[in-house]
Structure formats: C-alpha cells, structure tokens
C-alpha cells in the first residue's frame, strides 16, 4: 500500500500527461512557455481570485508575498507552532521575527484566542511591529478565516493563507487560496495538487502586489528581463510542470477532491469509536492532504505504528517537533507552556495512507490492523 499513490494516478492520466510532455518537448519552450500562463488562468479561475502567479515552490511563494509586502527587520509575523518549517523559515529569511502561536486540538489550525493574546503581547512589549499573520490550512482543512480576517482588520495586520496543504478545500462557497490579502500553495508531488517536481503559486486580488510579485519572481525585472529595478529571486514554474498540472488540475477538479473525501468517510466510520479522528467543521470542505488521527500517548502511537509497519502499511508523523523547538528557532523568545497543545500533538498524531485512489478494501485493511491493536 502507498501512503500517497502517485503511480496509480499516473497510470490513470498517462495518455494525457504523456501527450502534454511531448507537446512541451516539441515546442522547446521550457521556461515560461504558453502552458504556464494558461495554467495560471485556470488556477485563478478555479480558486476564484484575480491573479495567480506561479513560481518555483511553495516556500518561494510565501517569500514572494513577504517581499512584496516589504516585511523585514523588526516586523513580527504570527504563525502556527504546528506546521511545516517553511511557514516560519520565510519570516526569518526576510529578517523579521516569527511569533509562534498554539493551535486548536479540534482542527490542528491556529488558535484564534491565543493568536489575539500573542498580538496584544507584541503590541504591549513594543519591541517589534506586528505586521502580518500567516495562517496554515493544515492537513487540507482551511483555517478559520472568518475569525482571522476580523482579527487582521482589528489590528491592522496583513493576512497570508499558506494553502500548501489546503488547495481544493472550501469554507462555504469560498475556495482555499482565496482568503486573506494573499494566499500561496505548493505543487510538491505529495500535496493535494502536485506536479512531478517542485512548484508553487501565489494568489491575490491585489493588482499592485501581483505586479510586484511578477517582478520579484524574475530578478526584480522592470520593463523587461534585462532591466532590473529591485533585488529579486529566480523562481519560475517549469513549462513541463505547468503542462503536467494542466492535466492534473482537471482530474483534481472533476473527481479527486470528491474521491478523497469519500476515503475520509470510510476511515471515519471505522475509526471514530477507537481513536480521535479528524473533524471537519460544519460548512468546511477538506482536501485531505493528510488523514491524521490522535492517540492517547507517544507510547501508544509508537506501538500502533509498529503494528502497521509489520504488515507493510505506511504511516507518518506530521510533525514530530513544534516550530519553537526547532534548533534554528531556539534563539527566539518562548515561554514554557505557551504552545502546550502543539507539544502534545507532536507526541500523539499519526497520519494514515490517504489519497483519492485508495479503495474501501484498502481502508478496511488499515482499520483492521488498528482494531486488532486496540483489541489486544
Ligand atoms: C509543503 C509546505 C510548504 C512548502 O512548500 P514547498 O513546495 O515544499 O516549498 C509550506 N507550507 C506548508 C504548510 C507546507 O506543507
């Protein structure tokens, strides 16, 4: 069994993907070929925003937004303690201060009350300028953007949606990557919408920010590539990856999001009385980057993971360490117990095989092992 089955997906999409790859190879436009612009138009339309600017990966997408916003020294940026390293790394990379906020145990996403406490504390201390919030759609579930947008407005902060795992999710009629002042995603192969290498994108309705990102993405270009008006980076999506994503976006939109939600229901039905299963709040849709259960203890998790491994069922721990415990961030101020939920989650979460091509029979196979573990 695969944790995320990209081989089955390729077999299913092979004729179309092979044709696209041949199309790009034939034209020879490997950088910024027509497929890149076409994809950007389709992505913006799918998400429901004015601008989509693709780039080299999801980390660069975050950096490009912070660059366009002019985030830098002495600025504080708030983000969840329970996320992938990138979300905080980009803040430090711009010379700003990441402030880690605990998450809600129910959704794995940033805790709104604790976020407001953290914002007030930074204001009161007066050492750094509170500038922005980066919210993460962890494991595919959009964060609480109604509350986040209100809080950002109240304190005059910019709001960035890190939708690397959330692409395809929804709140009501609004799609993930349409929230806040700008949003980003990643096309890393294992993300909900993945390509066959690295890739990423920025989404925004802000014309000025979109213009700046077009410039920052290609060495701070002005009128043309050899007119450089600011210091930027080199971060473009390959034409080949754009072509592959054109085919994959169609499948994603037409049936994959629905299929992966069916898989979640199969898991829920079998596991809800045994372990703490992931909850999707009313009105939300998850794109299920991960299906993550919670165990009672680190020890229980280790033994269950061992039992799964014995019968060749892969499982993963996202994440083993809170951001504030990462060595790279040990220089930042942190009060003991501030992120106690994250600390506990890092010891108790376990992600099970999850993708749109998982059959009910395979889900049953995983759940049989889990049932067996709790019986013995
Ligand atoms: C994967 C991921 C990123 C970074 O994306 P890359 O394409 O790997 O650079 C950023 N944030 C979150 C939450 C992620 O899961």
Look up residue 353 and give its two tokens.
């095989």
Specify the pLDDT at position 180: 98
Specify the pLDDT at position 2: 96
Look up residue 247 and give its two tokens.
């085919």
Pocket mutation for ligand 1, best pick of 165, 183, 342 (most atoms within 8 Å of C-beta): 165
Pairing of strands 200-204, 51-55: antiparallel
If you compute the radius of gyration of the chain from its CA atoms, what whole number of angstroms results?
21
Pocket mutation for ligand 1, best pick of 55, 87, 139 (most atoms within 8 Å of C-beta): 87
Q: How many whole angstroms from 86 Cα to the centroid of ligand 1?
A: 6
Specify the pLDDT at position 225: 84
Question: Residue 101: beta bridge partners?
Answer: 80
Specify the pLDDT at position 324: 98
CA atoms of 233 and 76, how far apart (whole Å):
23
Q: How many whole angstroms from 89 Cα to the centroid of ligand 1?
A: 11
CA atoms of 106 and 323, how far apart (whole Å):
19
Look up residue 45 and give its two tokens.
């339309």
Pairing of strands 51-55, 349-352: unpaired
**359: helix, coil or strand?**
coil
Q: How far is CA 311 from CA 7, 285, 314, 347, 375, in A?
A: 21, 32, 9, 23, 17
* Residue numbers in the chain where pLDDT is lower than 70: none
Pairing of strands 170-171, 158-162: unpaired
Does pTM surpass 0.95?
Answer: yes
């Amino acid at each position: 069994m695969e944790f995320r089955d990209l081989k089955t997906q390729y077999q299913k999409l092979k004729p179309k993907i092979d044709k696209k790859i041949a199309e790009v190879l034939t034209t020879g436009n490997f950088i910024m070929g027509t497929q890149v612009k076409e994809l950007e138009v389709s992505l913006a339309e799918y998400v429901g925003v004015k601008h989509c600017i693709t780039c080299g990966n999801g980390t660069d997408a975050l950096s490009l937004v912070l660059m366009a916003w002019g985030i830098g020294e002495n600025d504080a940026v708030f983000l969840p303690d329970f996320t992938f390293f990138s979300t905080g790394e980009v803040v430090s990379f711009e010379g700003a201060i990441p402030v880690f906020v605990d998450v809600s145990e129910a959704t794995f996403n940033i805790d709104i009350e604790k976020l407001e406490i953290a914002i007030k504390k930074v204001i009161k201390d007066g050492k750094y300028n509170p500038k922005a919030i980066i919210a993460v759609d962890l494991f595919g579930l959009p964060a609480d953007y109604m509350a986040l947008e209100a809080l950002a407005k109240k304190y005059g902060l910019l709001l960035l949606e890190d939708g690397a795992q959330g692409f395809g999710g929804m709140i009501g009629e609004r799609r993930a990557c349409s929230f806040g002042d700008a949003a980003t995603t990643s096309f890393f192969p294992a993300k909900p919408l993945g390509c066959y290498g690295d890739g990423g994108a920025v989404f925004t309705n802000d014309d000025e920010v979109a213009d700046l990102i077009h410039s920052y993405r290609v060495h701070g270009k002005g009128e043309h590539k050899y007119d450089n008006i600011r210091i930027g980076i080199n971060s473009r999506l390959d034409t080949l990856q754009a072509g592959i994503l054109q085919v994959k976006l169609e499948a994603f939109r037409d049936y994959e999001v629905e299929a992966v939600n069916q898989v979640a229901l199969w898991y829920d039905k079998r596991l809800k009385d045994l372990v703490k299963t992931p909850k999707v709040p009313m009105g939300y849709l998850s794109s299920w980057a991960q299906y993550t259960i919670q165990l009672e203890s680190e020890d229980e998790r280790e033994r269950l993971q061992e039992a799964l491994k014995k019968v060749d069922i892969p499982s993963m721990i996202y994440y083993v360490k809170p951001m504030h415990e990462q060595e790279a961030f040990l220089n930042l101020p942190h009060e003991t117990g501030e992120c106690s939920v994250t600390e506990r989650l890092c010891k108790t979460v376990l992600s099970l095989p999850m993708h749109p091509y998982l059959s009910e029979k395979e889900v049953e196979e995983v759940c049989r092992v889990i049932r067996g573990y709790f019986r013995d």
